Amino acid sequence: MRVAADIRISIDQPCKGFRFYILNKGREMNLCGSISNEVSQHRILIHAEGEETTMQKYIELISKGSPYCKVLSINATPGEVIHCSRFDIINQEPRPIRSIAPDERPRRFAFKIGIFGL
């Protein structure tokens, strides 16, 4: 039976490689869903879908962490099955957009190439 889980993982420090690690492990186990992070709180959010026994093995595996990242806590709750087709990393917190003042805009240079005297 296909089940879904919403997983919150708290880690000791921001580790970009840990998201990629848990993504690869999920793909190896034929899970689908999404992985995002909350940079300010050192937390990773996962929505995963797959078979029930596979999901339990996945949660046990990621709760151990990786060689470079320590998991402080993990909280898995049943989620809604939305029939995802892939397992991907998504960016939850986009970079803030900085507006550029008119006097700070980069200058553009134009060069003309021509043959003179002909």
State the catalytic residues: 19, 37
Share of the chain residues as helix, strand and coil, in percent rounded to the nearest 5:
25, 35, 40
State which H helix or E strand residue 91 sits in: none
Question: Cα separation of 25 and 27, whole Å?
Answer: 5
Question: Cα separation of 99 and 107, whole Å?
Answer: 16
